């Protein structure tokens, strides 16, 4: 019975995509402060208490590149605690406004912990410690050194669950979120 629902959902999404593909998609050069953006991705729990990572992020409008002024784009999501905790492991669509754009970095060598390697997203309010694979960050073949990123401070107005669970394909773009 459950398989029928999954197949139906895939068919509806596929039909919608074809219908929308006939219209040109809005493509922008870069994001700007004050811009309203819709972001869809997967919510994963970070290693630190009250912290989450938003991975496999797709945005609308679509930017010409995944890179911002300082490096790959990542979203620092402002959202109340109860909103993220109930969605861990699910794919969400968030709509909100970019409050600020700043240079930041992902520290690739914050130290090895008891259970493996971690990275740390540097945020204005605090750093977020996470396993690279949970954040969709591929460190294979990378030398030591931090990764410069463009951090978009993103205040969320609406949250919609797109599906329970996350797609399995890894993405190299992600975002960190902190519970308030």
Using only C-alpha atoms, the chain has a radius of gyration, in whole angstroms, of 17
Highest mean pLDDT among 16-25, 127-136, 170-179 belongs to: 127-136
The per-residue pLDDT for 12 is 34
Percent of the chain with pLDDT over 70: 71
CA separation for the pair 168, 11 (Å, rounded)? 19
Here the tokens at position 135 are 């954040």
The per-residue pLDDT for 113 is 53
Q: Are 108 and 148 in contact (CB under 8 A)?
A: no
In 3-state terms, what secondary structure has residue 111?
coil
Between 144 and 31, where is the model more confident? Answer: 31
Q: Residue 10 pLDDT more than 80?
A: no
Q: Residue 52 pLDDT more than 90?
A: no
Q: Average pLDDT in the 93-118 region?
A: 79
Helices (H), the chain: 2-21, 81-85, 132-135
Q: How confident is the model at residue 130 (pLDDT cuts 50, 70, 90)?
A: confident
Between 118 and 142, where is the model more confident? Answer: 118
**pTM of the shown model:** 0.69
Helices (H), 80-128: 81-85
């Amino acid at each position: 019975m459950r398989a029928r629902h999954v197949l139906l959902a895939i068919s509806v999404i596929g039909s919608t995509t074809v219908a929308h593909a006939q219209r040109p998609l809005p493509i922008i050069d870069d994001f700007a402060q004050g811009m309203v953006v819709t972001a869809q991705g997967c919510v994963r729990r970070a290693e630190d208490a009250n912290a989450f990572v938003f991975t496999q992020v797709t945005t609308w409008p679509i930017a010409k590149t995944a890179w911002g002024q300082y490096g790959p784009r990542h979203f620092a999501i402002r959202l109340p605690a109860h909103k993220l905790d109930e969605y861990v492991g699910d794919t969400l669509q968030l709509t909100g406004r970019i409050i600020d754009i700043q240079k930041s970095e992902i520290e690739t060598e914050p130290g090895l912990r008891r259970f493996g390697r971690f990275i740390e997203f540097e945020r204005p309010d605090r750093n977020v410690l996470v396993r690279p694979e949970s954040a969709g960050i591929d460190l294979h073949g990378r030398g030591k050194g931090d990764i410069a990123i463009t951090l978009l401070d993103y205040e969320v107005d609406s949250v919609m669950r797109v599906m329970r669970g996350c797609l399995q394909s890894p993405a190299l773009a992600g975002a960190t979120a902190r519970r308030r």
